[in-house]
Amino acid sequence: MLAGGFGTRLRSVVAELPKALAPVDGQPFLRRQLESLAARGVDRFVLSLGHLAEQVQEAVAEWPLKERISCVIEPEPLGTGGAIAFALVQSRLDEVLVANGDTFLGGDLSAMLEPLGAEAVRMSVVTVPDRARFGGVSVDAEGYVERFLEKGEQGPGPINAGFYRVSAAALQGQPKAFSFETAVLPRLATERRLRAALIHGDFIDIGVPEDYHRYCRDHERLR
């Protein structure tokens, strides 16, 4: 779980809290997210922390799932890719599920729980009514990602939902700090090593106040 970002766009809402601890009806968003994932089959969590890490560690120590949660703290900002690679090394894992600490993805996750096959990364995608804010994803008939579409193109279609199954081998050859989304995913798509799994569930990125308030309003029905 990547939960080390600065949360600049959400600062007006969370003040001095890390955005993963943004309050939702009396509970931190991250706690709700972890409990939802646990209910759908994820049994162990590694939190990759950076900005205001101590606050997250103190909060986690009080949660019911605390025995299933461990934390790693980035020594410096590593970008999304560097954070994943660092957490893999620190946790001695070769394959992990990766989620963002400010994104809720509902629905059946069984397609993401299966071990990787020929692909180096499996990426969840969801269909949204307007992909202009997120950019789109082009997927071929066999489920492999062909390319990523630029932000700004309006209309319905599949987007990257920010939930991945990642092999350590996919990150080899990268510098210490790098972006998973720009340095790794497009390359794997070109190499036909990036597969998509369509998830039928709600998708909300709480990184902007509008969507944070939408999650707060709708959280009771989200699963």
Q: Which of 119, 107, 105, 106 is nearest to 165 (CA)?
A: 119
**The CATH number of the domain where 136 resides is what?**
3.90.550.10
Domain membership of residue 161 (yes or no) is yes
Domain membership of residue 94 (yes or no) is yes
Cα end-to-end distance, the chain, whole Å: 18
Domain membership of residue 1 (yes or no) is no
Domain membership of residue 2 (yes or no) is no
Number of domains in the chain: 1
pTM: 0.92
How many whole angstroms separate alpha carbon 95 and alpha carbon 119?
Answer: 12
Domain membership of residue 143 (yes or no) is yes
List the chain pLDDT tens, one digit each, 223 residues.
998 765 566 666 666 788 889 889 989 999 999 999 999 999 999 999 988 899 999 999 999 999 999 999 999 999 999 999 999 999 999 999 999 988 999 999 999 999 999 999 999 999 999 888 888 999 999 999 999 998 888 889 999 999 999 999 999 999 999 999 999 999 999 999 999 999 999 999 888 888 888 999 998 887 6
3 state DSSP class of 116? coil
Provide the domain limits for residue 51.
Answer: 8-221
Instruction: Give one word for 55, left, alpha or beta, with left for phi > 0 and alpha for psi -120 to 50.
Output: alpha
pLDDT at 13: 66
How many whole angstroms separate alpha carbon 218 and alpha carbon 223?
Answer: 10
151 catalytically annotated: yes
